[in-house]
């Protein structure tokens, strides 16, 4: 039995040459593995063009196809510029497709904030974290943990006092 209507793989950096960052690589690999294990019938790749002209989600789709995830199972969300927008735009996809519950795939240090945002937006989501560093030095992994502590506080603040330019 499937545990979710879809997997939602959150984007990460694409390098200037168009190659995926180690974070993007490990997130897509985790999403593909969960798909092949039967966790969900669809995989949403969410991430816009942040610092690179190609949307993260487009690179992610290409990677997933290379990992034998069928094209019919892949859903492209190429507009989100941050975790909040990942959740808002995924929520729109969920509503359009009649999905009730998703598994969110991101790095373990990012998961707490990602789920906080998804749930604050009223979305039913469970985490399926990436737990290994895969290709990055230890200091970068720990820096990610530290950054996320501050980002979680910022997210809570933004829900309390949303800026006018936030999508909803």
The rounded percent of the chain whose pLDDT value lies above 90 is: 69
- Tokens describing residue 123: 């979305």
- Write phi, then psi, for 74 (nearest 5 degrees): -95, 135
Topology (CATH level 3) of domain 6-160: Rossmann fold (3.40.50)
Residue carrying structure tokens 């507009």: 79
Query: pLDDT class for 129, splitting at 50, 70, 90?
Result: very high
For 15, the token pair is 């390098």
With vertex at residue 82, the alpha carbon angle to CA 81 and CA 88, rounded to the nearest 5 degrees, is 95
CB under 8 A, 24+ apart: contacts of 156-165: 156/116, 158/84, 159/120
Q: pLDDT tens digits for 14-25?
A: 999 999 999 999
Domain boundaries, given as residue ranges, for the chain: 6-160
Q: What angle do CA 6, 131, 19 make, to 5 degrees?
A: 75
For 126, the 3-state DSSP assignment is: strand
Structure tokens at 151: 């980002």
pLDDT tens string 55-94: 999 999 999 999 999 999 999 999 999 999 999 999 999 9
Are 128 and 111 contacting, i.e. CB atoms less than 8 angstroms apart? Answer: no
Helix (H, G, I), strand (E, B) or coil at 151: helix
The encoded tokens of residue 49 equal 């063009």
The confidence score (pLDDT) of residue 155 equals 61
């Amino acid at each position: 039995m499937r545990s979710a209507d879809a997997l939602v793989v959150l984007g990460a950096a694409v390098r200037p040459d168009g190659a995926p960052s180690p974070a993007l690589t490990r997130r897509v690999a985790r999403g593909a593995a969960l798909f092949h294990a039967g966790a969900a019938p669809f995989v949403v790749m969410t991430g816009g063009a942040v610092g690179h002209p190609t949307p993260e989600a487009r690179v992610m789709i290409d990677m997933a196809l290379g990992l034998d995830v069928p094209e019919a199972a892949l859903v492209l969300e190429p507009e989100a510029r941050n975790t909040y927008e990942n959740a808002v735009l995924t929520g729109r996809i969920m509503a359009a497709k009649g999905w009730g519950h998703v598994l969110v795939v991101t790095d373990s240090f990012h998961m707490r904030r990602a789920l906080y945002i998804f749930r604050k937006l009223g979305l039913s989501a469970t985490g399926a974290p990436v737990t290994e560093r895969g290709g990055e030095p230890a200091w970068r992994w720990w820096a990610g943990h530290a950054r996320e502590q501050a980002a979680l506080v910022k997210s809570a603040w933004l829900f309390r006092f949303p800026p006018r330019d936030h999508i909803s």
